[in-house]
Amino acid sequence: MRLRVEFTTEPFDLDEAPAHAVVARDVVTGAELDAVDVGPFGNTAEGEAEQVLGAVAALLRESLQAGATRVSLQVNVIQGAVQGAGEAT
């Protein structure tokens, strides 16, 4: 199964990226994920379920330790990428 994660960390700082945001982005860019897109207000990444879930756990742990007071995330199953989807039996 493939998943897409979208996340943001807070508090925001418009002048420079806070440490917790840098750590969160480093986690996803260093993980074995596909289609990583980082931006100032939101980040997304896709990959196999085990890699995405592992990255999410590390992202939560490390960004909170780096000072995040809130982490918002959404995880979605990528339609059409589910193993066995559309296969006749």
Q: What is the pLDDT along the chain (89 residues), one digit of tens a residue?
A: 999 999 999 998 878 889 999 999 999 999 989 889 988 778 999 999 999 999 999 999 999 999 999 999 999 999 886 555 444 43
Q: Do the beta carbons of residue 11 and residue 69 sit within 8 Å?
A: yes
Backbone phi, psi, residue 61, to 5°? -60, -50
- What's the CA dihedral at 52, 58, 59, 64 to 10 degrees? 160
pLDDT for 15 = 85
Cα dihedral value 65, 67, 69, 74, nearest 10: -60
